[in-house]
Amino acid sequence: MQLKIAVLPGDGIGPEVVSEAVKVLKCISEIRSIDLLFDYADVGGVALERHDTPLPSETLDICRASDAVLLGAIGDPKWDNGPSDKRPERGLLGLREGLGLFANLRPAKIYPGLINASTLKPEIIQDIDILIVRELTGGIYFGKPAAIEEDRGYNTMVYERHEVERIARIAFDAARKRNKRVTSVDKANVLQVSQFWRKVVLQVAQEYPDVELVHMYVDNAAMQLVRWPKQFDVILTGNMFGDILSDQASMLTGSLGMLPSASLGAKTALYEPVHGSAPDIAGQNKANPIATIASVSMMLKHSFSLLEEAQAIENAIAAVLEKGARTPDIADTKTTTLNTQEMGDAICKEIENILP
C-alpha cells in the first residue's frame, strides 16, 4: 500500500527542518519497505510570492488527497503590514479550517539529556509529560463577526456545543491512556463563552468517571505551568489559550525547537513543529529539526499506526541528545554543536541501529 504525504515546507526555516524530517521518513521507508509518495505544495509567504494567495486551491486539493500532511513553518515579516487576508498565517488557518483539523495535540515532554537546557530548575521539570489538547477550528480565531475598521477592531469568541464536546472527548480519551487527569483551562470568571465551555466539559466528563477533571482559569494555569508543571497530565483548552500555553510549555522542555504537534480531523491530519518560521536564522543550516522530526513520529503513530517506527524516532532523538549532540538553540559548553543537516543525519543513523 502506498502512503501519500503532502509536504508543505512553507517559510523561513520551514524548508530546512522539513527536509530533515523527510530524510527520516525516507530512512524508515527503506528499512521497513514502506511505499511513501511525497507531494510538495506551497503555503504561507512562499505561496503569496508565487500565487498571490497564502493558500492556493491546488495546495488544499493536494492535502485533501493525502493520507497525511507535513508542514514546516509559516510567517514572513515581509507581509506584516499588508491586509489581513494577505498574511502568510492565513494559509495555515485556511488549511486547518479547510481540512477540518479541530484537534491539536501538543505534547511537552522532557528528554533526559536536555534537563539542563531549560531555564527552569531540574527538579521542577524532571519527568514532566504534558499533553496539550487545543481546540483548533473555533473560538476567537474563527468567530464571526470579526473586522478591522478605521476606529475599531473586533473578534468574536464563540463555541458551539458540538465543538466543545468533540475536543473534550479527544482530551478524555487521551487521558485514559495516560495518567487519567484532565485540566480544562478557561476564563470562566469573566467570559460567558468560558462558562459555557465549562458546563459542556462537565457534561462530557460524566462519560469518563475514571478520569479526574480539574478546572483552571487560564491566568492561573500560566502560573502553575512554571510553578509546578508536574501537576498536569492532559490540558484541555480552546484555540487562543492553547496557542499561548503551548509556547509556554515548550520552554519547560528547553527549547521551542523541541515541540511537535498533530492536528487531527475526520479525514486527513497535519503534522508540524510548534515553533514558527524563525526568519532571523533562516537559510543558515542551524535551525533545530527535532520538533519536525518528532512531528513525523506523531504522523507514523496517529495516521499510519506504525507504532514501532514512531517509537524508534523518539528513541533515536533521545539517544542523539544523550550523546551530547545539539543544535545551537540547545547547546552548552559540554555538548557538540551540529547543524540542521547533521542533526537529521545523526537521528537517521540512530534509527538504523534501532530498527531491525
Helix pair 57-64, 88-98: axis angle to 10 deg: 40
Q: Give the shortest CB-24-to-Mg ion separation in angstroms.
A: 24
Determine if the peptide bond prior to 145 is cis (ω within 30°). yes
Q: Cβ of residue 243: shortest distance to Mg ion, in angstroms?
A: 4
* 269 scored as a contact of ligand IPM (CB under 6 A): no
> How do the residues of the chain divide into helix, strand and coil, expressed in percent and rounded to 5?
50, 20, 30
- How many whole angstroms separate alpha carbon 23 and alpha carbon 81? 36
Instruction: Please choose, from the candidates 259, 294, 295, the residue with its C-alpha nearest in 3D space to the C-alpha of residue 275.
Output: 259
Judge whether 247 counts as a catalytic residue: yes
Task: Indicate which single residue of 243, 272, 309, 329 sits in contact with Mg ion (rule: CB under 5 A).
Answer: 243
Q: Is 243 a catalytic residue?
A: yes
331 binds, among Mg ion, ligand IPM, none (CB under 5 to 8 A by kind): none
> What's the CA dihedral at 272, 276, 282, 284 to 10 degrees?
-70
Measured CA to CA, the distance from residue 283 to residue 40 in angstroms comes to 19
- Residue 243 found at the interface with ligand IPM (CB under 6 A): yes
Contact flag: residue 309 with Mg ion (CB under 5 A): no
Cα distances (Å, whole numbers) of residue 87 to 48, 138, 199, 346: 8, 19, 35, 36
Q: Which residue has the cell 524532571?
A: 126
Q: Is residue 89 a contact point for ligand IPM (CB under 6 A)?
A: yes
> Which listed residue (4, 247, 345, 349) is catalytic?
247
For ligand IPM, the closer CB: 89 or 165: 89
Residue 111 is a catalytic residue: no
What CA–CA distance (Å, rounded) separates 77 from 278?
Answer: 10
- The residue of the chain with the least Cβ separation from ligand IPM equals 89
**Options 87-95, 212-220, 305-313, 344-352: segment touching ligand IPM (CB under 6 A):** 87-95
141 in active site: yes
Nearer to ligand IPM, 89 or 352 (CB): 89
Q: Which of 22, 46, 55, 92 binds ligand IPM (CB under 6 A)?
A: 92
Binding residues (CB under 5 A) for Mg ion: these are 243
Binding residues (CB under 6 A) for ligand IPM: these are 74-75, 89, 92-93, 243
